[in-house]
Structure 1
Amino acid sequence: MKRMIINGGKKLTGEVTISGAKNSAVALIPAAILADSPVTLEGVPDIQDVHSLKEILEMMGVKVTFKDNVMVIDPREMVSIPMPSGKINSLRASYYFMGALLSKFGEGVVGLPGGCYLGPRPIDLHIKGFESLGASVTTEHGATYLRTKEEGLHGTRIFMDMVSIGATINVMLAAVKAKGRTVIENAAREPEIIDVATLLNNMGAKVRGAGTNEIRIDGVEELHGCRHAMIPDRIEAGTYLSLAAAYGEGVKVKNVIYEHLESFLSKLEEMGVNMIIEEDTITVHPSPELKPTNVTTVPYPGFATDLQQPMTPLLLCASGKSMVIDTIYEKRINHIPELVRMGADASVEGNMIILNGSKDLKLEGGEVTASDLRAGACLVIAGIMANGTTKISNVGNILRGYDHIIDKLTALGADVAMEEN
């Protein structure tokens, strides 16, 4: 088991370059198997989730190379094999194989998704979408069995009862080779969905309306390989911006798409964070007088649920009371007891996180646990700000989603290392 050791109290300065989007990568990699020739993905983050997906592909006979953030996926010798357990269970985004396998082979067996536990993550919207397209879906012994009739999938109109990134992408993957037109209403609008649609269109699909609440897909018979550069990770960008605002002395965050972060950046401006926003960089200067603010997470283009935890240490630096309500994952509160152990004045009341901040905030290093990916990011920021040494266990949760985090933090001047324990 690894632990992250942070000797805090060192202000950060310098530049950090944001990697490709984790939430794109975990959908683009399964999407690539729909091609009948190799697909090259550029900007793929070097994270645990990506290595898990690579292993799953190799189990199915796909040839995969991954070097210098470029992944080449050759699915020409791919075979459909059941994937009821193992790697597939440890990875929430493995459920994108459902739509991809259904589209490619007309069948699939996929273990129910794992990943971080943030409360219930029902896949009933995914199943409803597949059934609307003409598939039969059954669940036995913790695995989902997907089958189509001989005539295959057919286009249809699907209304999403709630906005769901996962279900929107999965139905897109299933529908690209279905006969006729599929219309997804109340579709999620995240940038990662546009990224997946761009890849599919580069492969020869006909997907229109991605990024709006209505996506139209005209089925095609075959898809071909292509080259695709993925978007930068807006959540990683928000994490480093939070860190820079909380404990930086001039930090430039590079490879950022400003439009993907508008709701987050407006909160930083509300707090009085001193930023210079340029074409693809954001420079954060010291901001001594921060104001408290309230955050409510909602689907894109609103404030992202994945950014409320990394932003918490920054909110603690503002003099006064801030409140956070997560309407997406109400159980996304496991970082709060850990912060309290480090000396934060924070509590959970009902579905609300209450933070009493101070510009003279003093956190103390301690032994804490990263219960999930973004809670881990929160604790890394807190550890860098704290006096003394912080030891974070369960660090695998952090490595699932942050590319070269030790190297990037060290380059900014943090004293951070991995330790085998």
Structure 2
Amino acid sequence: MDKLVIEGNVPLRGRLRVSGSKNAALPILLACILAEGPVRLRNVPKLKDIATTLQLLRMLGCGAEQNGEIVVTCVGQNLIPEAPYDLVRTMRASVLCLGPLLARLGKAVVALPGGCAIGSRPVDLHLRGLERMGATFELEAGNIIGRCKRLKGAHIHFDFPTVGGTENLLMAASLAEGETILENAAREPEVTNLADFLNACGAKIQGQGTSIIRVQGVDRLNGAEFGVMPDRIEAGTYLVAAVITDGELYLENCSMADLDAVVYKLREMGVWLQEGKSGVLVKRGTNLVGVDVMTQPFPGFPTDMQAQIMALMGLADGSGTIKETIFENRFMHVQELVRMGARIKVSGQNAVVRGVDQYIGAPVMASDLRASASLVLAGLAAKGSTEVLRIYHLDRGYEELEAKLSQVGARIRRVAQ
């Protein structure tokens, strides 16, 4: 198992290109099941989760390959409606094949996802919505078995603006009979990117990016060429990397509009950002100050940036409070940051962060993807050497992390254990 070794306290300077979004690419790849022609996707990152999804598509009977661009072909007579546990357990996004398989084949056998380190991610909102559209489900030997004739449009109100649930029903509704209305739908840019892809294939979707999405079902979807949006969480992570090291970075392929809540909090802390023609320039403007942050569904502050902003606040003047409202167990990075000298106290959903002058390098262990990123950020700013263990989490969500950081001056290397 590999680890990262970081010699910190070096300002990062230069240009970085933000990769395509993992969280947008995964549902778009699974939406290819709906298309009766070949799909060609651009700007897809080379990540472990992408490789797993391509493997899943091949097991479902699709042609799927990544060679620069990704080409997916899902021929109806070759499709198999079964997603096995061995793959689903490694990547919860695999459950997003449920809606497309039901819509295309009328049957889906999808293993229940396993546990998640950052908390519960139940699929009941997915199933309830699909039942409203005419599907029936039973649980057998750890598998969700769904059946339907043809899904029918329905009026569905989500109790919570679930990203995965919105994506699953959006895909299913594209081939359903009649109109589907999704209320209290997730508004994340990745959901909008999925809807735009489906429309490029011939779907009739309106309202994406708002809380009410209307889908007029069609009889078939065609293949298409499409570009995946930039990864706003990777972009946010590199914004913090520039500031926490007192450096200056220009991030290419970065949209401030998708990071509005993050940008607002960074500016409140004293960070200087300027949007250019092809990206964003970022550097520390004044002394950093602590702020209060509460994670919320988009357009609020993203839970996937909570750990990174905490690492930055740990070096700010004064104190601030971070409230995590999305996942019940997403402060596991706190004790690892404390090992590096951070002053953080957790009480329930709240973490009070009091700034310190310096992090000190130490061996730390990652618990999940974004926790891993926060420890790397702390290591980049720390005095001395930091070892980040269990970095397989990072490989799921950051394309060529150490190579990108090295090109802007970071002293970071991967070491096999």
CA deviation digits over 1:202-222, x for unaligned, max 9?
101111111111111111111
Q: Secondary structure at the match of 1:400?
A: helix
Contact 1:107 1:146 in 2 (8 A): yes
Q: Secondary structure at the match of 2:281?
A: strand
* Residue 16 (structure 1) aligns with: 16
User: CA RMSD for the aligned pairs?
Assistant: 1.3
- Comparing 262-271 with 75-84, greater Cα deviation is found at 75-84
Q: 346, 360, 363: which is aligned to 1:364?
A: 360
- The 2-side partners of 1:57 and 1:220 are apart by 23
TM-score, with structure 2 as normaliser: 0.97
* Residue 341 (structure 1) aligns with: 339
* Residue 156 (structure 1) aligns with: 154
Work out whether 1:409 is the aligned partner of 2:405. Answer: yes
Compute the displacement of 1:242 (Å).
0.8
Compute the displacement of 1:314 (Å).
1.1
* Residue 315 (structure 2) aligns with: 317
Q: 373, 378, 387: which is aligned to 1:382?
A: 378
* Residue 73 (structure 2) aligns with: 74
* Residue 106 (structure 1) aligns with: 106
* Residue 168 (structure 1) aligns with: 166
Amino acid at match of 1:138: E
Amino acid at match of 2:80: S
Q: Secondary structure at the match of 2:98?
A: helix
Percent of counterpart pairs with the same letter? 38
Contact 1:190 1:300 in 2 (8 A): yes
* Residue 120 (structure 1) aligns with: 120
Work out whether 1:217 is the aligned partner of 2:209. Answer: no
Amino acid at match of 2:83: M
Q: 374, 399, 409: which is aligned to 2:395?
A: 399
- The 2-side partners of 1:404 and 1:102 are apart by 36
Contact 2:201 2:222 in 1 (8 A): yes
Compute the displacement of 1:350 (Å).
2.0
* Residue 239 (structure 1) aligns with: 237
Q: Secondary structure at the match of 1:57?
A: helix
- The 2-side partners of 1:111 and 1:385 are apart by 42
TM-score, with structure 1 as normaliser: 0.96
* Residue 325 (structure 2) aligns with: 327
* Residue 267 (structure 1) aligns with: 265
Compute the displacement of 1:32 (Å).
1.0
Q: Secondary structure at the match of 1:302?
A: coil
Q: Secondary structure at the match of 1:90?
A: coil
Amino acid at match of 2:203: A
* Residue 295 (structure 1) aligns with: 293
- The 2-side partners of 1:279 and 1:139 are apart by 52
- The 1-side partners of 2:210 and 2:304 are apart by 21
Counting matched residue pairs gives 416
Contact 2:81 2:101 in 1 (8 A): no
Q: Secondary structure at the match of 1:210?
A: coil
* Residue 65 (structure 2) aligns with: 65
CA, structure 1 residues 352+309, in 2 after alignment: closer, same or farther (shift >3 Å)? same
CA deviation digits over 1:125-183, x for unaligned, max 9?
001011000001122222211111x3x11111001011101100000111111111110
Contact 1:84 1:142 in 2 (8 A): no
- The 1-side partners of 2:67 and 2:116 are apart by 27
- The 2-side partners of 1:316 and 1:216 are apart by 43
Q: 4+ residue runs of structure 1 moved beyond 6 angstroms?
A: none
Contact 1:239 1:310 in 2 (8 A): yes
CA deviation digits over 1:323-370, x for unaligned, max 9?
100111131101100001111111211210111013xx2112111111
CA deviation digits over 1:59-107, x for unaligned, max 9?
2221112123x11101126321422311121101111101111111111
Compute the displacement of 1:115 (Å).
7.4
Q: 176, 179, 191: which is aligned to 2:177?
A: 179
Aligned counterparts, 1:246-285, within 5 A: 246-285=244-283
* Residue 415 (structure 2) aligns with: 419
List alignment gaps of at least 5 residues for structure 2. Answer: none
Q: Secondary structure at the match of 1:237?
A: helix
- The 2-side partners of 1:91 and 1:390 are apart by 28
Contact 1:116 1:373 in 2 (8 A): no
- The 2-side partners of 1:31 and 1:277 are apart by 33
- The 1-side partners of 2:105 and 2:47 are apart by 28
